[in-house]
Amino acid sequence: MESQNKAEEKSFFGAQAKADKYDVFSAASNQRIIQSFADLSGLEAGALVADLGCGSGAFTTLLQDRGYQSVGLDLSEDLLHRGTEHYPGVAFVTGDVEALPFPDGALDGILLSGIIHHLPDPMACANEVFRVLKPGGSFVAFDPNRLNPFMYLYRDRSSPFYSNVGVTANERPVIPSHVAKVFRSAGLSATSDFIADLHYQYVASGKVRWALPIYNFLSSTLFRPRFMARFGAFVLTSGRKP
């Protein structure tokens, strides 16, 4: 299995940090993710939660606002620098999700913040999530869903309409059952839920930016019926350490 090209990842996100344009979702969609984290993890305010792949810290600060003791972790020092500028009261640490700088059993919860789809093989990360969670601790991951036609057509390398603008060479949308299986083989429980109505406010390609309102509308209406839910644009993989 391919391993992640970390130099490529750092250089791509270093450039994003310079442009200071990495808040891709609308504020309401960010809140929707935090609400999903709270619902699926069942964690109360005060719990110690790491936001892995935190980027410039949008979700780390929302977790803190929600009452969690949050710490953001990312490979990109440039994005973390942006985070400390924007959110001076929030804790950040540089690190790799495949070798976490936390002791065994240290955390109550983990938000995998759009990071799994950047790992060609998420097994090492899943093993680290297992290691650093307390028994009974929870994780929630959100990632683009390869079963969604828009995500597949625009963001999967096997699609004839694939665009590599604004994405790293490491990333591709995930197959929900594959991600759940990896977390289960690390010893965690894992289930998949779907979100259809995360609205983008920014996409790197100027050529398709005009279509964002159309995409946002179609995405939230087409996949709302229950029988269409598993084709929603984002999958939430969540579970617990026994």
Which positions touch ligand SAM (CB under 6 A)? 4, 9, 13, 22, 53-55, 58-59, 74-76, 79, 96-98, 113-115, 118
Write out the E strands in 77-216.
91-94, 107-113, 133-144, 191-195
Distance CA 238, CA 103 (A): 22
Q: Cβ closer to ligand SAM: 86 or 184? A: 86
- Closest-CB residue for ligand SAM? 55
For β-strands 91-94 and 133-144, DSSP reports them as unpaired
Supply the minimum distance, in Å, between the C-beta of residue 227 and ligand SAM: 29
Bridge partner residues of 51 (DSSP): 72, 111
Bridge partner residues of 174 (DSSP): 145
Supply the minimum distance, in Å, between the C-beta of residue 143 and ligand SAM: 9
Q: Cβ closer to ligand SAM: 203 or 228? A: 203
Q: Cβ closer to ligand SAM: 18 or 221? A: 18
Distance CA 24, CA 44 (A): 27
Supply the minimum distance, in Å, between the C-beta of residue 225 and ligand SAM: 27
For residue 237, what is the enclosing H or E element?
strand 234-240
Q: Cβ closer to ligand SAM: 98 or 193? A: 98
